[in-house]
A = this chain, B = another copy of it.
Amino acid sequence: MIIPENDRLIIGAENIERRWSENHQHQLTENARAEILAFPIIAEEVSELLRWASRYNVPVTPRGAGTNLTGSTVPLYGGLVIDLSRMNHILCLDEDTMTLSVEPGVLLEDVQDYVSQRGYFYPPDPGEKKSTIGGNIATNAGGMRAVRYGVTRDYVRKLQVVFADGTISELGSSTIKDASGLSLKESLIGSEGTLGIITRADLKILNSPEFSRSVLLAFSDLEQAGKNVLEILSSSLNPTAIEFMNRTVVQLGEQFLNFAYPFETAGSYLLLTFDGSENVVREQLDLLKDLAEENGAIGLEVLDDPKRAARIWQVRGALCTAVEATSMQEPIDIVVPIDKICRFVRFVEDLEKRSQLQMVSFGHAGDGNIHLCIVRGQLDEDEWEEKLALVLQTLYDEAYACGGLASGEHGIGLQKRKYFLAHSDPSVIALMNGIKNAFDPAHILNKGKSYVIEQERNIYA
């Protein structure tokens, strides 16, 4: 284990104690700075750190690659940050049971590369490929392929977890079915570091699809696009991805990458992918053509040229970056039932006009997960904070009015906590805290994040 202290390295948890007196009173640190940063490399070291932190009631913030968008790895109460980025080994590929065992600090892109080189496929595909698998599990990350393949939760067979008191346990099993007691594994998935620290994950993998093809569909407006999404989802088509982008948003990406989409008179686009054997995919593309024609598509291009397909997807992928290149922005990942996407996107467009804050919305039409960047532009800090607070309140109110949720795949962290707590049933939040108390009675793990209510002080709530 390596604990950098200024420019020295200190080995072993016993040395941490030198930096932490028993009388240390932790409190909300104004600058959210941790006193100690540790880089364990095995579960036993994580255990040693947590036993120590439990003994002295030291707040602990687990951290992967730090790519989260919600402030979930900010060490709000100071204390100890456990950085898992050096636990980054792929441990075992079991081809008989189609299971890949990894350490939590392995990057998503490394998992995807490793399995694809061997003819396999790890379906969860969040946009941030440099996020860690541990972080993906802690937030139940989703991504583009959720419409067909599901989310991270669906690919976790088994977890090794270190609990707050240092106990190392195995949750879940290598079996496919499980009706043996409560599933603690399911509680850990999406718990944002509040219940335990993941030190190994056994992931389910699939065979690589033989063939894959993307299609760009153009519509005169959002409603036409939205109607097609519902028709596609309730047809026998089985798309892997259905992304939607309005023309105004696509233009941002086009300018950023200097590449033009076809059908420039379109008001709205859908970008789809189909996976399978070539015959099946070709069959699906024919069905899609018929369906789109019947439903008023004004353009359809099958992206047979891989280079062109890559460019088209690049524009979709670059939308956030295109916005960030010009201004600070607030990222949001509200999710609504799939039949409420048009309503929500129209609401955003209307709010954009009313608030005069630029809002760039696009996202996963197939699963109702809308990515929205609220752009700061030229506003000074006070004005930005004030306008943003107002707009966020309005957006989350509308999301919940649609039967939606604050987060589809990023998690709650700090940033959405206020809105999440305000819109959640208090008795449900109390039960979540009941589970927290069972797993981490002293509340040392990721204090003040997500659903966790601290007795002594409510943070950001």
Contacts and interface: CB of A to CB of B under 8 A. Distances in A.
Contacts of A28: none
A177 B146 contact: yes
B173 A403 contact: yes
A339 interface: yes
A163 interface: yes
A59 interface: no
Nearest to A96: B339
A404 interface: yes
B179 A142 contact: yes
A177 B369 contact: yes
Nearest to A150: B154
A335 B179 CA distance: 9
Given A186-B187, A277-B236, A438-B438, A181 B151 contact: no
Interface stretch (A17-25, A349-357, A427-435): A427-435
A443 interface: no
A184 interface: yes
Given A169-B425, A182-B432, A177 B335 contact: yes
A191 B180 contact: no
A406 interface: yes
A142 B178 CA distance: 9
A408 interface: yes
A325 to B, nearest CB: 27
Contacts of A283: 277, 279-280
Interface in A63-102: 94-98
Nearest to A154: B154
A428 B339 contact: no
Contact of A437 (B186, B276, B438): B438
A420 B181 contact: yes
A276 B236 CA distance: 9
Contacts of A252: none
A219 interface: no
A244 interface: no
Nearest to A95: B234
B96 A338 contact: yes
A213 interface: no
A378 interface: no
Contacts of A337: 97, 173-175
A162 to B, nearest CB: 11
Interface in A84-125: 94-98
B190 A187 contact: no
Contact of A408 (B141, B179, B183, B280): B179
Of A176, A338, A424, chain B has the most CB atoms within 10 Å of the CB of A176
Nearest to A186: B186
Interface string A320-333: 00000000000001
How many copies of this chain does the complex contain? Answer: 2
A389 interface: no
A144 to B, nearest CB: 11
Contacts of A412: 179-181
Nearest to A416: B180
Interface in A124-154: 139-142, 146-147, 150-151, 154
A176 B96 contact: no
Contacts of A451: 181-182
Interface hub of A179, A276, A333 (most chain B Cβ within 10 A): A179
Contact of A405 (B94, B173, B366): B173
Contacts of A233: 98
Nearest to A175: B335
B183 A189 contact: yes
Contacts of A142: 177, 179
20 contacts: A141-B179, A146-B176, A151-B177, A163-B427, A169-B428, A173-B337, A175-B336, A175-B367, A175-B405, A177-B368, A179-B190, A179-B410, A179-B412, A182-B195, A182-B436, A182-B451, A207-B236, A210-B236, A236-B277, A434-B438
Closest A-B pairs by Cβ, 10 of them: A434-B438, A186-B186, A177-B408, A96-B339, A176-B367, A181-B451, A174-B337, A180-B405, A175-B335, A179-B407
